[in-house]
Amino acid sequence: MNPIDPHTHLLLHTQRAAELQAAAYRPVPRTPLRTQLGWLLVELGLRLATPRVPGVVAVSS
């Protein structure tokens, strides 16, 4: 095992600690899943609220 200079070890430790702290405080981006679910519920609500006309077939895109 090669001994590491204590100053080098401390420098590497300090740098890694700073990287971990920066990653911990970075806000987590929200996934578009919540938005997709919201729009799906809006679409479902509109379909339920729209009266069906007899003889008309709805075509989904």
pTM: predicted TM-score of the whole model, two decimal places: 0.39
Q: Match 């919201």 to its residue by tokens.
A: 38
What is residue 46's predicted lDDT score, i.e. its pLDDT?
92
Alpha helices by DSSP H, listed for the chain, are 6-25, 33-49
Residue pLDDT, tens place only, 5-52: 888 889 999 999 999 998 888 776 766 888 889 999 999 999 999 888
How buried is residue 48: exposed, middle or buried, by Cβ count under 10 Å (0-12/13-18/19+)? exposed
pLDDT at 60 over 70: no
